[in-house]
Every structure is written in C-alpha cells, then in structure tokens.
Structure 1
C-alpha cells in the first residue's frame, strides 16, 4: 500500500479516473496509468516510455523517436499518428498543460513512418527529454486510455492498480500476467492520516511530503531510516505578488528581501534545511554565475536597520498579506516571517495560498535544468525590463545566444527583486525497507513501478 499526500486535490473515486494533472496524487495516478515518449526511472533518469529509442540531432533542434509496439488499456494498438495528435494537443498554447510555456520551441510533430515520430524545434532545446518525461506529458487518448505501467482494477478508496504485462520482458513460454501480489493500493489522503497509517505498519510508503507536513514526524514513532529526503532542485521562497504602495519601489522590495534571517527561519521547521539568498542554484545554462544580492555581505542588524529606515520613510502604516498553505510547517514559517516583518514596523497578515497577497509562497520542483524555468517561475509578476529579458532568452535562436540572454535575464530579475529566495524545496517520503528500489533524486519523483524489483 502506498499513500500519496493530498492537499485540496483528490483522486477520482467510484469511476475510472480521468488523466488529471494538478496536485500530487493526481500526478502519481497519471504517471501510473500512462507514459510519455520517455519517463523517469527510480533515480530520476530518463528511460524509454512509448519510445523504445531516440536520437537527437542539430544540437537539440530535432528529436526522432522510434515507438515500441504498445496497446491501450482497452487492447487496441497504439499508432504513431495517434501519439503525434496527442503530443500536438499537449504542447498547444490552448492546452491546460502547465508545461506549455516551456514547450514553445516545438514547431512540428511529424509522423515519419508507422513507428517513427519526429519533433522539430524552431530553437534548440537539449533538455526537452526531461520535460517529456514529466507526468503532464503522459499519453492518454480521448477515451482516457493509457498504456500503463499500471491499470485500475478497482476504484477506491483505495484505488487498486495492477501492473500491465510488459511484452519486452516476457519470454515466449512465460506467463506474463502479473500476479495479485504485485498490485498496488494507492491512497490519496491528508498527511496526518498517511503518517499514522505508515507508523502502524498499514502502508509501505508515504510519498509527496513537503515542508508544511514535516513537523508531524516529531509526533510519531517512525525510525529515521524510513525518512528519505530528496535533494530536490527548484524554488522555495516568496513571489512579490503585489507591487502597489510600499512595494512599488524596487529599493523597498530589496530591503524586504534582505531583512530575513533565512537559516533561522528554516531551522525552526526542519534540521539541515539549507538556506539560499539567490535565485539560481548553479550556473545551469547561463553563461555567468548566479546573481548574488548586493546586501549579501551585510550583517543582519544592518539589513534590518536599512529596512526599518525605509518603512519609517514611507510615512504611513505598511501591511503585508502573506499567502501560505495550511499545515504546521506553514504555521512555523508564518511565525518567523511575521516576527521579522514586525521587527521593522511592517504588520503581517496571513491569507490563504490563493488569496490576494503581497507575498505568495512558491514551493516548486524544477521540471528540467534550465535557468529560464527559475527566472520565469520567479517572475510572478515582474517588471517590463525583466519580463523582456526572460522572453529574449526564450526566443534566442542559438544555444550561445540563449546562455548570454539567460545571464542578462538573471541580472534583470535580481535588479527587479521580484522574488525572495529562502531555500530549495523540502521533499521527503517515508519508505519501508522492503521497497529496495526506492531512490532519492533531484526530481523528487518516485514512480510506483520503481519501488520494488518485481514491478519495474
């Protein structure tokens, strides 16, 4: 049994599930019922999905995929033409796919032969496979049929999933039908319930843990060997979501970013959670090191003194709404952020994550290793110059021009102060030692068919 921690999203109950995208449990389900051209393995590496092999040409300007023989869950064969139509739909600007803004370089999806598809790009994208491996790019036909690695055998709760026999691994004389012992019971449930289920030995894994649930671990007798923390890459911090009033001035936004004692904030929630003061975790595909804020070498007292001066100079009360999720970790985060704001004369007000706010938490794992994802995700919103710089990076016709444009965009976003970085995302799981194939990874993604040797 596996529990996927849910927020507001829930798995469909009582019917064959649609291919949902948003929220963690629906993404787990989508990844389990269907696959894209490629997919992630247990270690977060790219492995074949519907495509058995592929080649990349023109420095990432074209991807040619050879499809394997596959069947939809209703038994009908998968054709290259069907796959091409579905991919075109997923990358369309009209799609609800959240990855669409990062797929704009795709120019054509062409059926070359009954087994071969070519994805042609207007601009090179060496990281395209990492996007294609995301659950959002899983291939479902219009009748909601996927190709596995699992199929639903009973609607929940819990949903019962059974592996689909893989013809590539079955010997001619073998019985390739998976046994019921390989079924997976998938629960979508609140963190507290999932943790109690695991602590009582009634599940083998809890997937999808975030910072807001981390303090719950202190309330249960769960051995430290069962707690697995992913080295996740991504963003954890506050988007400056409202630029009216005090926050209209970039100097005020910079003073706001500088006043936080990042490591103390994180230590109040989870040990060994490392703080950061910069947007990019590394150079990535930029041709310059990550921008460092110009206040980085100042003492905390000096930074808070400068922030207090700017608040006093404003001449009227400053109130800041902070949009956060629910959960004990978020309560601790608000306590730390609120205390820091009060220390410089700003009145904090907590609001729901989707409500109007001045500061909105962004807690997201990067789907691929491009600095443009970090910049575009942090730019929510940002000024015209920063937005133009990010768009220039998106449209750069060569990799060299793209790297230079990304470096310029990083500088522009740093000057604009549209985002207050605090850390990298905290992602964790609880794992029974029977699940020997489980691996932590920077994608913080753990396919259900990558937990046990007999379901790979």
Structure 2
C-alpha cells in the first residue's frame, strides 16, 4: 500500500468505528465537496477545484443550468428561442430573479458578466470555446440576445456550466438557486425566495437546507462514514482508493459514466519526444487494461482521442499500433528507444506531471513500469512542475469533438493546430465536422496525446437523496438531490 495512503488510515479508521446509519430525512442535508472552495470564487481568474465549482453552481446560476441528468433547464432565463439559422439565441430573464440582497437581476448586469467571461484575456477555462460569440446585447431590461458568427447547437451546454454563472463582480454574490451564509460549522445554503402569492413566513423546511464543506477526501469520507454527512462530490481516480479503506457501503458509492479526456499530453517536443515514432513508443508501452483495472474493474481503457464520433465527420481515428498485442507493441517501442540511444547514449529521463493522491500513485506505478520496460527512465513530478508529459483528467463541458482535439493539443504539430483552428472558424457545421475529423487524424498520427481512459468520477450518496443521478457531465446540482426539485 502506498505510504501516502497509510498516513490516512488512522483518520479513516476513526470513521469506521462510528455508526454507518443514514441521517434522518427531516434534517439539513450535509454536503462535502473535495477541494478548498469555501468562498465564492471568480472563474475568470483561473481554474476552479470541485468544491469551488459546487459552491458557485449552488449560489450563482447562469442563463441556463443542468438538471440531475445533465440536461438543460431554465436558470436566470425562463425561456429562449433560436433564430437566424442558429446564429442568434434570445433569452428572456425570469420574473422575480434577485440577488442575495433582494435587488432584481437585470439584463445589463448579465450582459456585463458574460462579456467578461468570453473576453480574449479571460482565464475562464471555457473562454476559448466561446470565440464563436460575436456579440452579447441587452435588448430590453429582461431580454438578452447572444449573436453568433456561425451556428453552434451546443452553446447552451457551455452556458449551463458553473464557470458561466452570473454574479455581481463588486459583491461576488449570485442569484441562487441557494442563498449562502456562513456559521461556525460551514456554509449554510437556503433556497432562494421565489415570487409567490401570499406571504410564507415559515421559511424553508430543515431538509431543504444544506450545510456545505469544501475539504480533503479523507476528511469527507470520515464525515460520511461517521453518519455526519449525506453526500460527497468531486471524487476522482486520484483519491478513489480511500473509499474502500473507509468502508463505505456499496449502495452509497456512485460512479459517473463521464465523457472527457484521461491521458498524457506531450508538452515538450524536444529531445526524445521530437520524433513521432518515439512518442508512439510511449503510447504502445502502456498496459491500459492493467492500469485501469488497478483503480476499478469497470474502468474501461481507450486507445483513441475521441471516445465516439460526436460531431466529427468520421469515426475516431485509430493509431497505427491499434490491434497489436501488448508484447508486440512493447517490442516495437523498445526498438525505437534503442535506435534513439545509439545516437544519444545514457539514460533517457522523461518527467510525467501527475496530481497527488493514492490513486495517482497507482497510475504512476503502471506508467513507470511501462517506460522502464522499453528502456526509458520515468520521473514523477507535481501537476504544475516542469515535465515532458502531463496528465489531462478533464470532463468535457459539452458534446463536441472540437473540445477534445483542442484540449489534447498541448504541444501538437503546426498542421494539427491549423486544423483545430479551422474547425473553430468553419463557416458551417458541415465544414466544421470535416476539419475536426482531420484534426483528430492529425493529432493521432502526430502522437501528441496518449489516450488511456475516460475520466473516473465518483460520489458518495445517502439513500435519502433519491434524485441524485449519474450523468456524462459528472455534475450534480444541489437543488436536484431530493425528489422535490426547486
């Protein structure tokens, strides 16, 4: 067992000594999200961890948002229409939408926030995929038009992401679906008031209130196992081994069939990785089936960049080594390394940037074994440290193959990058789909991304939260945990 996991055993053992009964259904729902997000964070300032995303999605909705199944539902906008052959989205804001202090949400405020999110210099992770937006305008105090340069049928899925939530920049507060206050035990969420006839002064029921914690996975698991919480969100492969150590009942463990990328991006094309054959050697050396099975027996390996065709004009491009047995692949990979070393004697170190956590250590063990097997010297580095290869572990925000090729292209060829940009700027969906297919083929031939699997995401869910559902977004809004939706 990895040393890091051993260090966490005392904490989890304390949880195992506690009761495993479910919390009463007439009490507040206690939610843990993995990360450090315990205050509303600005997504335009950089990437958000899972806890920060959950907090943002609970308190600051966008024009639209996701329901429990990952489908689009109204948010700030009560309805919308698409006109001009898909080049214009017109949203009407919901009557009664207010900020935390009761002030009404206006179209001007929404427009200002969205323009900031899509600005070229924004650090919002979705900004590069919203370049198709030509203009966002206020038509009336309650009507907004989003004008596009070209049709994009998947725009609403991007707008539903928490990174596109609308909030006031000066106060960093949102319009719901919850209002947040802080007490000595955590952040309390209460449903945002809705416009209704009459005066209901009784307030929300206890079970409609949530208590939120952003915390380390071991602490979250200990809290749940001790019967002190109802939900853990944001679990990944990196911390999955802690779940079995904590002794969580199988019925409470939920996995998402997430769509996205889990693989190694080439981030340096110098030295050994300057040659496409050498990049392919690394891809051929990895025993994907053993690697994924070591985390979970149902985690399926993949060998292609695209998981399915999506909006590409062609099925996922297959690497030249697909179909060969592992022994044959490694034999070919060893030959490539040997040829390189004849002109470059001495060790061939390769740094691989990975996150921390026991699951990441298990993945590292299989990657290191693969590289040693073909004559390379692997070196593990932290996720933000210099490296030649960097793990991408990301859920796709929308169902477009362009997100996959653009995200995988960290240090890809000029030809592949040109095709990716051509897909972004294509005048119609037909041309776009063909440029995406060509980019997929170019990236695969270039070996700039080494696919391993789809993202592995898990949650721990109490039985009282009957409305929780797994989905391809791995996103679980807090207003859709019980059968009574808000």
Structure 1 residues 304, 36: closer, same or farther in 2, change over 3 A? Answer: same
Q: Partners of 1:212 and 1:366 in 2: how far apart?
A: 18
Pick from 71, 80, 104: which aligns with 2:98?
A: 71
TM-score, normalised by the number of residues in structure 2:
0.90
Residue in 1 that maps onto 2:225: 199
Residue number in structure 2 paired with 1:164 = 192
2:424 aligns with: 394
From 439, 451, 454, the equivalent of 2:481 is 451
User: 1:90 is matched with which residue?
Assistant: 117
Mapping of 1:48-447 within 5 angstroms?
Answer: 48-69=74-95, 70-142=97-169, 143-155=171-183, 157-167=185-195, 170-172=196-198, 174-175=200-201, 177-315=203-341, 316=345, 317-447=347-477
> What is the aligned residue count?
448
Change (3 A) 1:39 1:156: farther
TM-fit CA distance, 1:176: 7.5
Q: Is the 8 A contact 2:41 2:52 kept in 1?
A: no
Structure 2 alignment gaps of length 5 or more: 1-29
- 1:73-111 Cα offsets, whole Å, 9 max, x none, are 111111112211211111111222110000001001122
Checking the alignment, whether the CA contact within 8 Å between 1:182 and 1:455 is kept in structure 2 is: no
Distance 1:192 1:173 in 2: 44
Query: What TM-score does the superposition give when structure 1 sets the normalisation length?
Result: 0.95
Distance in 2, Cα, partners of 1:177 & 1:396: 52
Structure 1 residue ranges without an equivalent (≥5): none
Q: How far did 1:380 drift?
A: 0.7
Cα separation, 2, equivalents of 1:217 and 1:181: 26
Q: Secondary structure at the match of 1:151?
A: strand
Q: CA deviation at 1:181?
A: 4.0
Q: Deviations over 1:328-357 (max 9, x none)?
A: 111111111101111111111111011111
SS at match of 2:167: coil
- Contact conserved, 1:83 with 1:139, CA < 8 A, in 2? yes
- What CA distance in whole angstroms lies between the structure 2 residues aligned with 1:155 and 1:349? 44
Coordinate RMSD, CA, aligned: 1.4
Give the drift of 1:179: 3.5
Task: Tell me whether 181-190 or 329-338 shows the greater mean CA deviation.
Answer: 181-190
How far residue 220 of structure 1 moved from its aligned partner, in angstroms, is: 2.2
How far the C-alpha of 1:10 sits from its partner, in A, is 3.5
